């Protein structure tokens, strides 16, 4: 009794201290906010309307060009106070010089904010985001954002156009490479940690950077996977399936949001007041600023929204604060205010939000705070960052197939290393690595040499061009020669590859996509290997030698033939600066692969869009059913080739049945679902245990499975670990037809397994 008493006192004291700490921290933030308000108010009182409008203008002088036009007369505009921010340049020196123009010449000395596309690392490039998500490791992903923030700020930047959190279920869309795949739950967790990694909840530090969540919203649902295409979607689908990652990023404190190029149910995102003001600001409480995507305001004219004046009015009145490269605000906003079509308050609000961002970043205190030559020297591509890039890359690769334990390879004998991507620096970094230097990347050939030295005899042949289609090559090669065409004929190259394979014990074929076959403006209607590479692979398989297909790709590809005929397939995405070393580590078993795909791999393009959290329909097809009058295809299975969450290991894992702590859950209670997972193979291995839930009866149709939890464990051979998930009503909530976030009592199923298809299941009731 006495002990209990003491415990209670201790808890009370700690509780009190906790509350007190909260009170004092919120008091502190109130004080900081009022200091900021005073500062911004005083400054805005001095500003003319034109100067306020100037803050809404974001320019790019070129450099890393990411759109069809670049801004003109940038220096003059900065001097005149007609620029609020700039993107496309890096380096403490360049940024200092540009900042000096603003600070020394503009009458009000307002510093610029400097942004850039820092997407999967800045100079040290990590795997593409789709690859990063395949690690299912939010701590690791946060670390990549942290390192990127460190490098970006050491290189003069204060703002990164990341994370990209668009849910994508269509691998034809090239930008699927830039996000975390198809699932809103995983996507939200990743969005949150990216924001935390960039901003660390404290933008006043020298090594934190303001994030920009993009592309708001629903860009990943572009019809037919065609870039920039229309989106027409029910609100229920939006709220339940597409919006959660944006909201998670906003809840995590994202400093800014970028609108998307697409329209949404008839209103382009950049002119969409419901999206930007009602949902983002009013419902979600977003306090930062909203920037358009590249020239998205003038593009409203093509959308059929009106002329320059009209589209400027629409964007401003929608609540869009900053105009990226369009310069429509600069040209027309003052006139619109004069005519009463846009209120002065709208301009004030937009200007205030941008000044607040600069204030939070500490730019008023020290406009040059990110211009530190010493930091640039020591922090960019430091040994520690490169080491992290290698470790991260290993964690992202997905073993799609491994018959007869072809992998891992022995560290002896002769390997035929074949393929246009086997010794190719140019393509290792993948799309959106604007500051990465491909010349500093480690190729797979180099990586293998680094890892096995002379113990393995490596024979090399290019075997094929990435593509032989001249028109296609021109289209891909806009930023340089990513697809280089050999002078030899395809036959000559294949013959050389076959001869090389004949001399080896095993063939490692490194095939796939050039870096810019995914990313912006890289939609594809055919997502298989290019014909040149398919022919090569077929010839290699015909030699009878064991073939390992190492894929480099930015999207799920159709690999039906490959899955049938190639014994081992390792998906390495675009693994970044250290990709070659990481691939070699995995090929030779220094790291046991543990990645799991986060976007379904279709069997053919006709199955697209394909995603695991689909609905049941009134006539669901189950294998073994008579197929007539069922929701299926005559010519292909309903299932993907590789389902969401799938990925093999060099070891094997066995799952026990699920045990539930209770099969009834009350609305204020919790139950636990547990499985025992055993490593039944001979190597230590990491497994991502996934938990899905199905709401059996709802006021609206509910998906057949929804990811609601995952845990990573590492097991030694023979080891068993119990993995438990706690379930409460929070895991059962969804947006109903009135867009209310509710739970509904009734029957549920819980599934736990190694991927979205191979699961154990149990039933429970919510009372």
Grouping H, G, I as helix, E, B as strand and the rest as coil, residue 181 is coil
Q: How far is the CB of 70 from ligand NOJ (least distance, A)?
A: 11
* C-alpha span between 378 and 246 (Å, rounded): 34
Is 214 a binder of ligand NOJ (CB under 6 A)? Answer: yes
Q: Tell me how far apart the alpha carbons of residues 310 and 318 are, in angstroms, rounded to a whole number.
A: 12
The residue sitting closest to ligand NOJ, measured at its beta carbon, is 66
Nearer to ligand NOJ, 174 or 647 (CB): 174
By C-beta, is 228 or 725 nearer to ligand NOJ? Answer: 228
Is residue 520 part of the contact set for ligand NOJ (CB under 6 A)?
A: yes
User: Is the bond preceding residue 408 a cis peptide, omega within 30 degrees?
Assistant: yes
Strand, coil or helix: what is 512?
strand
Does 323 engage in binding with ligand NOJ (CB under 6 A)?
no
In the complex with ligand NOJ, the residue whose CB is nearer, 64 or 309, is 64
515/541 with CB nearer ligand NOJ: 515
| Tokens encoding 175 | 């930008």
**What are the φ/ψ torsions at residue 5 (nearest 5 degrees)?**
-60, -50
**Cα-Cα-Cα-Cα dihedral sign, residues 90, 94, 96, 98:** negative
Which pairing describes strands 398-402 and 568-571: parallel, antiparallel, or unpaired?
antiparallel
Nearest distance, CB of residue 66 and ligand NOJ, angstroms = 3
| CA distance between the termini of the chain | 36
- CA 355 from centre of chain: 28
Rounded distance, CA 149 to CA 157, Å?
Answer: 9
Whichever of 213 and 452 has its CB closer to ligand NOJ, that residue is 213
- Contacts with ligand NOJ: how many residues (CB under 6 A)? 8
Kindly tell me which of 419 and 519 has the beta carbon lying closer to ligand NOJ.
519
Nearer to ligand NOJ, 326 or 546 (CB): 326
Q: Active site includes 117?
A: no
Interaction between residue 182 and ligand NOJ (CB under 6 A): no
Site for ligand NOJ in 672-711 (CB under 6 A): none
Judged by beta carbon, residue 324 or residue 539, the one nearer ligand NOJ is 324
Cβ 116 to ligand NOJ shortest distance, Å: 8
* Closest of 42, 352, 1, 433 to residue 441, by C-alpha: 433
Give yes or no for a cis peptide into 565 (omega within 30° of 0). no
- Axis-axis angle for helices 344-360, 2-46 (nearest 10): 120
The least CB distance from residue 432 to ligand NOJ, in Å, is 8
CA 567 to chain centre: 30
Pick between residue 342 and residue 434 the one whose CB is nearest to ligand NOJ: 434
CA-wise closest residue to 264 among 278, 251, 283: 278
198 interacts with ligand NOJ by CB under 6 A: no
293 in contact with ligand NOJ (CB under 6 A) = yes
Per-residue contact track with ligand NOJ, 239 to 278, x per CB under 6 A?
Answer: ----------------------------------------
Cβ(632)–Cβ(638) below 8 Å: yes
Give backbone dihedrals phi and psi of 335, rounded to 5 degrees, phi first.
-60, -40
DSSP string, 467-491: ---HHHHHHHGGGS-SSPPPSS-HH
Shortest distance in whole angstroms from residue 147 CB to ligand NOJ: 20
Helix/strand/coil for 394: helix
Quote the least distance from Cβ 520 to ligand NOJ, whole Å: 5
Report in angstroms how near the CB of residue 111 gets to ligand NOJ at its nearest.
21
Beta strand pairing status for 289-291 and 323-324?
unpaired
Rounded distance between C-alpha atoms, residue 147 and residue 376, angstroms = 13
Contact between residue 698 and residue 734 where contact means Cβ atoms under 8 Å apart: yes
In the complex, the smallest distance separating the C-beta of residue 440 from ligand NOJ, rounded to whole angstroms, is: 22
Which pair of structure tokens corresponds to residue 90? 């890096």
- Pairing type for strands 659-660 and 671-679 reads antiparallel
Whose Cβ is closer to ligand NOJ: residue 222's or residue 501's?
222
Please say which residue, 299 or 520, places its beta carbon nearer to ligand NOJ.
Answer: 520
**Among candidate residues 728, 738, 747, 593, the one with its CA nearest the CA of residue 673:** 728
Among 43, 53, 56, 66, binds ligand NOJ (CB under 6 A): 66
The pair of structure tokens assigned to 613 is: 């959290």
* Segment 130 to 169, residues that bind ligand NOJ, using CB under 6 A: 161
Based on CB atoms, which residue is closest to ligand NOJ, 324 or 541?
Answer: 324
Nearest distance, CB of residue 260 and ligand NOJ, angstroms: 8
Q: Reduce the DSSP state of residue 608 to 3 states and report it.
A: coil
Q: Helix (H, G, I), strand (E, B), or coil: what is residue 690?
A: strand
Q: Does 435 bind ligand NOJ (CB under 6 A)?
A: no
Active-site option among 293, 321, 585, 695:
293
Should residue 294 be labelled a site residue for ligand NOJ when binding is judged by CB under 6 A?
yes
Distance CA 133, CA 187 (A): 8
DSSP state of 278: I
What x/- string results for residues 22 through 51 when contact with ligand NOJ is judged by CB under 6 A?
------------------------------
Give me the least distance between CB of 161 and ligand NOJ, in Å please. 4
Other beta carbons less than 10 A from residue 304's beta carbon: 8
CA distance 307 to 316: 14
468 binds ligand NOJ, rule: CB under 6 A: no
Indicate which single residue of 67, 589, 620, 669 sits in contact with ligand NOJ (rule: CB under 6 A). Answer: 67
**Cβ atoms of residues 363 and 554 within 8 Å:** no
Using the rule CB under 6 A, which residue among 117, 241, 299, 632 binds ligand NOJ? 117
Based on DSSP, count helices (H) and strands (E) in the chain, helices before strands.
Answer: 22, 27
CB 545 within 8 A of CB 416: yes
* Binding-site ranges for ligand NOJ (CB under 6 A): 66-67, 117, 161, 214, 293-294, 520
Active site residues: 293
């Amino acid at each position: 009794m006495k002990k209990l008493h003491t415990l209670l006192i201790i808890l009370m004291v700690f509780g009190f201290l906790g509350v007190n700490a909260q009170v004092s921290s919120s008091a502190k933030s109130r004080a900081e906010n009022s200091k900021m308000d005073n500062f911004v108010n005083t400054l805005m009182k001095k500003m003319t309307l034109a100067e306020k409008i100037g803050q809404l203008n974001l320019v790019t002088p070129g450099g890393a060009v990411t759109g069809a036009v670049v801004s003109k007369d940038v220096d003059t505009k900065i001097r005149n106070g007609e620029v609020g921010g700039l993107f496309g340049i890096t380096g403490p020196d360049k940024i200092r010089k540009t900042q000096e123009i603003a600070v020394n010449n503009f009458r009000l000395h307002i510093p610029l904010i400097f942004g850039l596309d820092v997407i999967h690392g800045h100079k040290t490039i990590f795997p593409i985001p789709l690859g990063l998500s395949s690690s299912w490791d939010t701590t690791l992903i946060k670390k990549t954002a942290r390192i990127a923030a460190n490098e970006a700020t050491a290189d003069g930047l204060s703002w990164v156009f990341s994370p990209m959190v668009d849910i994508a279920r269509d691998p034809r869309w090239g930008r699927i490479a830039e996000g975390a795949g198809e699932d809103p739950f995983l996507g939200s967790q990743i969005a949150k940690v990216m924001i935390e990694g960039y901003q660390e909840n404290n933008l006043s530090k020298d090594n934190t950077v303001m994030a920009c969540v993009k592309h708001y919203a629903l860009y990943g649902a572009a019809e037919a996977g065609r870039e920039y295409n229309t989106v027409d979607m029910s609100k229920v689908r939006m709220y339940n399936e597409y919006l959660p990652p944006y909201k998670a990023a906003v809840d995590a404190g994202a400093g800014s949001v970028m609108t998307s190029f697409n329209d949404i149910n008839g209103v382009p995102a950049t002119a969409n007041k419901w999206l930007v003001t009602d949902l983002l600001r009013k419902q979600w409480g977003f306090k930062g600023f909203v920037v358009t995507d590249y020239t998205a305001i003038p593009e409203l004219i093509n959308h059929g929204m009106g002329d320059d004046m009209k589209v400027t009015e629409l964007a401003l009145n929608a609540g869009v604060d900053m105009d990226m490269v369009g310069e429509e605000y600069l040209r027309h906003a003052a006139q619109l205010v004069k005519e009463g079509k846009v209120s002065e308050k709208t301009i004030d609000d937009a200007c205030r939000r941008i000044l607040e961002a600069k204030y939070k970043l500490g730019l008023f205190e020290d406009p040059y705070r990110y211009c530190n030559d010493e930091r640039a020297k020591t922090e960019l591509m430091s040994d520690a960052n490169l080491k992290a890039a290698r470790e991260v890359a290993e964690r992202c690769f997905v073993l799609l197939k491994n018959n007869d334990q072809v992998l891992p390879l022995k560290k002896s004998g002769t390997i035929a290393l074949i393929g246009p991507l086997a010794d190719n620096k140019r393509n290792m970094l993948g799309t959106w690595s604007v500051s990465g230097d491909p010349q500093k990347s480690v190729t797979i050939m180099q990586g293998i040499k680094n890892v096995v030295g002379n113990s393995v005899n490596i024979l090399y042949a290019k075997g094929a061009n990435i593509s032989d289609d001249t028109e296609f090559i021109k289209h891909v090669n806009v930023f340089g020669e990513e697809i280089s065409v050999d002078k030899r004929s395809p036959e000559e190259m294949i013959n050389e590859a076959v001869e090389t394979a004949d001399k080896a014990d095993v063939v490692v074929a490194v095939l796939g996509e050039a870096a810019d076959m995914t990313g912006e403006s890289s939609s594809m209607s055919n997502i298989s290997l290019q014909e040149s590479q398919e022919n090569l692979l077929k010839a290699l398989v015909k030699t009878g030698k064991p073939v390992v297909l190492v894929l480099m790709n930015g999207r799920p590809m159709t690999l039906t033939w490959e899955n049938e005929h190639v014994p081992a397939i390792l998906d390495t995405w675009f693994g970044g600066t250290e990709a070659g070393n990481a691939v070699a580590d995995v090929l030779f078993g220094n790291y046991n692969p543990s990645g799991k795909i986060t976007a379904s791999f279709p069997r053919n393009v006709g199955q697209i869009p394909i995603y695991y959290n689909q609905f049941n329909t009134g006539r669901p097809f189950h294998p073994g059913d008579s197929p007539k009058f069922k929701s299926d295809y005559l010519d292909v299975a309903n299932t993907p080739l590789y389902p969401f969450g799938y990925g093999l290991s060099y070891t094997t894992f066995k799952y026990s049945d699920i045990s539930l702590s209770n099969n009834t859950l009350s609305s204020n209670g919790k139950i636990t679902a547990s499985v025992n997972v055993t490593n039944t193979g001979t190597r230590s291995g990491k497994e991502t245990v996934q938990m899905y839930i199905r709401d059996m009866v709802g006021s609206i149709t509910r998906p057949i499975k929804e990811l609601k939890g995952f845990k990573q464990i590492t097991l030694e051979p023979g080891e068993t670990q119990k993995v438990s998930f706690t379930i409460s009503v929070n895991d059962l909530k969804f947006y109903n037809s009135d867009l209310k976030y509710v739970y509904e009592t009734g029957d549920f199923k819980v599934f736990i397994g190694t991927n979205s298809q191979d699961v154990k299941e149990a039933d429970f009731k919510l009372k």
